[in-house]
Structure 1
Amino acid sequence: MDLSTTDPDSVLDTLDRRLVCALQVDGRAEPGRIAEVLGVSARTVTRRLGRMRQAGVLRVVRLPDVEDAAVGALLLRVRVLSGRVDAIAQALADRSDIPFVDVMLGGHEVGAVMLTDAGSRDRLLYGQLPATGAVTETTTHAVLHAFADAGQWRAGYLTDEEAAALARPTGPRRPTAPRLPANRPTAPRPTADRAVAPPPLDGLDRALLERLGEDARQSHALLAAAVGAPESTVRRRLHRLDEAGLLRTHATVDPRLLGMAVDANLWLDVPPGRIAEVGTALARHPQVHGVFATSGPANLLATVFCPDHGELYRFLTDTLGPLGAARAETTITARAVKRAGVLLRQPARRP
């Protein structure tokens, strides 16, 4: 199967999707452990994961701690002149301090997440974007609190028992919360509340985390060679970092390949006294892959994956409706350009 030219809706079969879900649970899981849990051969796991990674449709990277990365991050909504959206989206995606870039349906808006210092922020917002002439308006929201982020989302092709078997036993973690009902079983997702403080990081720790930010599935031997340390030392350091919750990984893949054809942003106006309640409830829902309290006219952002527009409508009416938001603006992603720092390969168009 040629993954680079096949229609996105038919690229990944059920086993492929289950393998991706296994990496959502543990991005560094070894083929043998995945094979044992899913009931297939290790050779099949290795071959299929290698095929997806070689084709560029799957990449596993290390994500920073959700509180460290998200709180203070900027959510950008950039309005662009007709015909210039691709150029602006690519320019934003080329920046190392912008890990997420989406082109919104309609072709006049680019959404992005920016993690940077005040100087770089001001140069982009007040200098570079206005200077292009293609940008008509930029709306900036600061993240005040993270209830859930992309690293905690599960696509739902594993049972709870399979997900639990794949999860690595570690030290103290963020507490887990019960889920709302779902059409398919998924493992409970941790909240963003910190349970333990991370250890102080030295140069070796930072070097390892940087390498895993490029490819979280590198072996201990490869990492040891890259950072110039004994493999036994690398194993101990990774175990310590993992116990502190600093080895969160993200299996980056086009959500359409997992049966999620609709990716929507819900900009919500919630009574201030209910932000925590509504944010926590939405973070537990298996279709939600991000919930953030924000500054600006909308004080809560929820990002949702749905199989189709009908399912999005049911989410709005059946899930969001009873939560009592005063206003909800729904924007739909037409094309994901960059996710978790990874540029996504765009599927080939049909003739």
Structure 2
Amino acid sequence: MDLSTADPDAVLDVLDRRLVCALQVDGRAEPGRIAEALGVSARTVTRRLARMRQAGVLRVVRMPDVEDAAVGALLLRVRVLSGRVDAVAQALADRPDVPFVDVMLGGHEVGAVVLTGAGARDRLLYGQLPATAAVTETTTHAVLHAFADAGQWRAGHLTGEEVAALTRPAVPRPAVPRPAAPGPAVPPPLDDLDRALLERLGEDARQSHAVLAAAVGAPESTVRRRLHRLDGLGLLRTHATVDPRLLGMAVDANLWLEVPPGRLSEVGSALAGHPQVHGVFATSGPTNLLATVFCADHGELYRFLTDTLGPLGAARVETTITARAVKRAGVSLRQPPRRP
């Protein structure tokens, strides 16, 4: 299913933006709970959310756990011949193991996030990309630590009290045993029903228990118990996918930072807490920290660089600006037709 972005010259009104922010806090929140937290009627919430979803403005999907999925992920910067960027971007977006794809300003670079095993990774990096005549260069960064990802970003149109009212109580997460030899934690055991539920929520995280039960052929009570367990395992994180321009944020920038190793944790944590930042990752490669930032305009991006980033003491910063998002959180984005 494609998500058609709305007219970039349009914006959501104040209540629409607040509803999007409510789903950023809890993508599975019931209309009644959203209504109570925001001080509007449940009918209004239901009608507004249905209108945005039907218009292709908003979609809520499940995101992988940031600790389990992000570390070891690949951040690709693919340089492409002029005129071939759309084909390369779409080829990457068609892969199920690539949840994020952007075309960068200038039309010669595609950015992508790859979540895959070693075999598929090697085929992509050492076979498929080099064999593509349109690709001139590929830079690969491995994620070493995730300070924040897109599922944790909040657009900032809610008060602290409203966010608290919408935040679900934390489900105690069981300790996951690690193998005797050094390596990643052993993933929790999932059966066919768990995987079926997660797959359905990856397409639409707002499906009700009854709809999910009918889809997977299990009793509703069983589905409720399974979702509670999966939530405790950190597997029900959600992402409210919306064109940031509709929230008043016209500029999406990637900041590739070179930070002294001794300050990497300090700088990453400071940026992760900033409301304009929607992702911060320590990486391998030519730079060691990536921060992704939403800004209202280029002037606000300049102020972020000088006033927020400047005092943190990065030795070098490369700023790249997203011209077009192709895929976000596994959701393909189809751009609106150009005006004549």
Name the TM-score, length of structure 1 as normaliser. Answer: 0.90
Q: What CA deviation, in whole Å up to 9, does each residue of 1:72-91 have, x standing for no partner?
A: 00000000000110111011
* Cα-Cα RMSD: 1.9
Q: CA deviation at 1:240?
A: 2.2
In the other structure, the counterpart of 1:265 is 254
Q: CA deviation at 1:11?
A: 3.7
Structure 1: distance between partners of 2:11 and 2:307: 31
Q: Does structure 1 residue 326 correspond to structure 2 residue 280?
A: no
Contact 1:220 1:234 (8 Å CA) reproduced:
yes
Label 1:9 to 1:114 Cα distance change in 2 as closer, same or farther (>3 A). same
Residue 243 of structure 1 aligns with an amino acid whose one-letter code is G
Contact 2:5 2:57 (8 Å CA) reproduced:
no
Residue 230 of structure 2 aligns with an amino acid whose one-letter code is L
In the other structure, the counterpart of 2:50 is 50
In the other structure, the counterpart of 1:293 is 282
Structure 2: distance between partners of 1:6 and 1:94: 22
In the other structure, the counterpart of 1:178 is none
Q: Does structure 1 residue 308 correspond to structure 2 residue 297?
A: yes
Please give the secondary structure, in 2, of the residue aligned with 1:10. Answer: coil
Structure 2: distance between partners of 1:5 and 1:103: 15
Gaps of at least 5 residues in structure 1 are: 175-195
In the other structure, the counterpart of 1:347 is 336
Name the TM-score, length of structure 2 as normaliser. Answer: 0.92
Q: CA deviation at 1:172?
A: 3.3
Label 1:33 to 1:202 Cα distance change in 2 as closer, same or farther (>3 A). same
Q: What CA deviation, in whole Å up to 9, does each residue of 1:297-342 have, x standing for no partner?
A: 1000000011111111111111111111100000000000000000
In the other structure, the counterpart of 2:120 is 120
Structure 1: distance between partners of 2:141 and 2:17: 34
Contact 1:57 1:344 (8 Å CA) reproduced:
no
In the other structure, the counterpart of 1:168 is 168
Residue 286 of structure 1 aligns with an amino acid whose one-letter code is P
In the other structure, the counterpart of 2:75 is 75
In the other structure, the counterpart of 1:156 is 156
In the other structure, the counterpart of 1:215 is 204
Contact 2:4 2:333 (8 Å CA) reproduced:
no
Task: State the number of aligned residues.
Answer: 328
Q: What CA deviation, in whole Å up to 9, does each residue of 1:229-256 have, x standing for no partner?
A: 1101111111222233321000011111
Q: What CA deviation, in whole Å up to 9, does each residue of 1:267-326 have, x standing for no partner?
A: 000111111111111101111000001001100000001111111111111111111110
Contact 1:198 1:246 (8 Å CA) reproduced:
no
Gaps of at least 5 residues in structure 2 are: 175-184
Residue 169 of structure 2 aligns with an amino acid whose one-letter code is P
Residue 288 of structure 1 aligns with an amino acid whose one-letter code is V
Q: What CA deviation, in whole Å up to 9, does each residue of 1:7-60 have, x standing for no partner?
A: 323241111111111100000011111112112221211111111111212110
Structure 1: distance between partners of 2:278 and 2:9: 20
Structure 1: distance between partners of 2:188 and 2:121: 29
Residue 218 of structure 1 aligns with an amino acid whose one-letter code is Q
